[in-house]
Amino acid sequence: KPRTIDLTDKKSTIILVYGAIMENGNDIATLIRNAGKEKKPIYLLIDSPGGSVVTGGAIVSAIEASQVPVYTVCLQVCASMAAMAHQYGTKRYMVDRSILMFHNASGGFQGSLPQVASLFKTVNRFVNKMFANAAKRSGQNYKDFVAKIGAEIWVDGEDAVTQKYSDEIVSVIYDESKAVNPPTLELLKLRDDSKIKMLDISYIK
């Protein structure tokens, strides 16, 4: 039976990462930095299909710079950039039957060929640093990890712990309204719509 983490005791700070990580990544990074001043551990509850590497990188930087522990919890789906952010937690937790997905970054570049070449080189190094962290945390050789994600890696909570992409399966008690960034109804709908598009799998008798 998974260990229960009760976040209703007000002894920790809850920050939600719901839906795609886009412009909100900078806001979440600011919340992490400000929450660190409270001297209470931070729980980053993540349910996201991923998003921007750059603003996701702001979240990663805030986690690394935090003076208090930042525990990452995959509530249901942590894919792409969200999976990378999850790997930076002081402890990486998964709710049972939640899912992690790793893959190569994708995107487009515009500009002259020298500009595109320079930008690609920088972004590639940016992303590879996160790959190196995920490989190290999971006890893998960097090249082996990169080869695996070329075909995408999908793992549920149990497999994530076995393969060292997570430290523990837990049950979490929390109140969304008590987070420092409580979700709006619009955000909850966007989060759920994104997961339906990404994982349109049904079990119907």
What sign results for the dihedral spanned by CA atoms 58, 186, 97, 170?
Answer: positive
| Helix ranges, the chain (H) | 24-35, 53-65, 81-86, 113-137, 142-149, 157-162, 185-198
**Strand-pair category, 92-95 with 99-102:** unpaired
Which token pair is 139?
């006890």
Which token pair is 90?
């002081």
Catalytic residue among 12, 48, 52, 80: 80
Amino acid in the structure at residue 33 = R
| Separation between Cα atoms, residue 52 and residue 15, nearest integer Å | 19
Q: Which residue has the tokens 């899912």?
A: 99
What residues contact residue 53 under an 8 Å CB cut-off, 6+ apart? 81, 105, 107, 123, 126, 127
Please indicate whether residue 103 is annotated as part of the active site.
yes
Please indicate whether residue 86 is annotated as part of the active site.
no
Catalytically active residues, by annotation: 80, 103
